Chain A
């Protein structure tokens, strides 16, 4: 995937920006607050239809203007051009792909593939497990679109089952005798188990594949020390042997019946699972890792997802690195840059002149960003 041209209108501090980009490594330089991150954020927005920063859609619209627009001309790795456009207006998002309106955002997300890293990204590791499940599911649905109805089935079964639990147990610990409701619960449980088993097995398979790319990437990016970090799918259900997963899941649900009579919601299944970053095969990196190790892990994870997409979908995502090098020593900076050179297109933002000098020889273009103005410096 390659971004050839980007146009921004009233997107944060970019009043009017129109800039073309070559493939390869692209450096964005400029003082803090100049609009480097905003430009990366715009690309991310078009890719995921939301920001990597917290906050509301309307904050993105430049103060005092009616709407913000992001327009991009892209080239996929097979050389096919396409155009995507996003307008943010009054808290609403309007998306067009090749000139036609997109109504189902789910079909659009992932079309413009990108992976990103910025200092706040540690939240992926330290934050809510929901963030990690979301990343896995997004990737899984890109690789296997046929899973979409399975997710729909699971989500529906989960909500219906939780509602049924609340009807059977009007208050914690109370129980209503109603054979109709009991059978309804059994039906939703079956539906949950059948869809949930597929999701857990697919996720575990995906994590295994990503881990194959992740471990070597982590090794080359991590601070020296020789620790090993690996990815593991942490499930509330035993996932082996493969043909027993559904049976294990059903057993776990049956065993949780007591707990469910008090909590009145479903406590076992893919909606409770997590992606673990495991240090030296036994410790949770989130608890025992240093800042540096965690940063390297998230960066390696993002790079691993790029590699997976390149190999499986012949689509190398655009890599957005926002101030990603600042806390690395020179040796690791060089290694990261070397990894970046083999990617289709990488945007690196940096406020440090010294860093820029280090990257510039490898970069295909350098742009300076000042007060929302983008200017080609070299390339």
Chain B
């Protein structure tokens, strides 16, 4: 077998450690990079480094942001600050943004409650969430954790915390009453009824709305 130059095989190995990239794809990528102009490869390397160094969590909501500044949603003055949508990961917020139509802000928990996998309440950004609700005088919290068992348990946990805001232990704190909502569950739009699975149909019927 033809041995690759060590530097190239090192690159290929590193590329193949990325999600969704197998050894074959890594080889193709590595060889393609070799054929690019030096300045293009330099630009790619710079972009990788810049991303790694400058992109982080938004200090307020936990979504992705640059240089430790507020993310685009938090910085957007036209957003409805009274509406807060709680999601498990930044990816979930991006998905909701793509859907459009949501005018409030987000809060990323950084996962879902799962003692079995070692994720305890203190590992999630819950204290930050409660602090935000106080500071931003939030009126409605949309619990948009996944419909999975863990996501459901996380929503139940948050509900307790949110209800507890109405009866603060600290006598100096004013009681807060927030509306708690949960994403609806049912048919995907454009879906045909006979293709939906039984559980989805059941849930769609249960959560039907006035028309």
Contact = CB atoms under 8 A, between A and B. Distances in A.
Interface stretch (A66-74, A182-190, A239-247, A360-368): A182-190
Interface stretch (B26-34, B81-89, B147-155): B147-155
Interface stretch (B6-14, B92-100, B112-120, B174-182): B112-120
Given A159-B116, A180-B122, A146 B202 contact: yes
Contacts of B154: 187
Given A145-B199, A160-B114, A187-B113, A180 B150 contact: no
A189 to B, nearest CB: 9
B160 A149 contact: no
A17 interface: no
B120 A180 contact: yes
Interface in A109-165: 144-146, 148-149, 152-153, 155-157, 159-160, 163-164
A271 to B, nearest CB: 15
A312 B114 CA distance: 39
Most buried by B among A155, A160, A163, A167: A160
B102 interface: no
B190 to A, nearest CB: 22
Interface in B175-204: 197-199, 201-202
Interface in A207-226: none
Nearest to A167: B115
B150 to A, nearest CB: 7
Most buried by B among A144, A152, A167, A183: A183
B81 to A, nearest CB: 27
B120 A183 contact: no
A184 B115 contact: yes
Contacts of A145: 197-199
A152 B116 contact: no
B156 interface: yes
Contacts of B114: 160
B147 to A, nearest CB: 8
Given A167-B115, A181-B121, A183-B157, A146 B201 contact: yes
B116 A184 contact: no
Q: How big is chain B's contact interface, by range?
A: 20 to 34
B119 to A, nearest CB: 10
Q: How big is chain A's contact interface, by range?
A: 20 to 34
Contacts of B122: 180
A164 B201 contact: no
A157 B153 CA distance: 8
A137 to B, nearest CB: 16
B161 interface: yes
A45 to B, nearest CB: 26
Given A160-B114, A184-B113, A184-B115, A191 B120 contact: no
B113 A163 contact: no
Nearest to A144: B198
A36 to B, nearest CB: 38
A191 B121 contact: no
B149 A184 contact: no
Contact of A157 (B120, B149, B198): B149
Contacts of A188: 153, 156
Interface string B138-172: 00000000000110111011011100000000000
B149 A156 contact: yes
Contacts of B153: 156-157, 160, 184, 187-188, 191
Interface string A179-207: 01101101110110000000000000000
Nearest to A183: B160
Most buried by A among B116, B157, B159: B157
Interface of B: 113-116, 120-122, 149-150, 152-154, 156-157, 159-161, 197-199, 201-202
Interface of A: 144-146, 148-149, 152-153, 155-157, 159-160, 163-164, 167, 180-181, 183-184, 186-188, 190-191
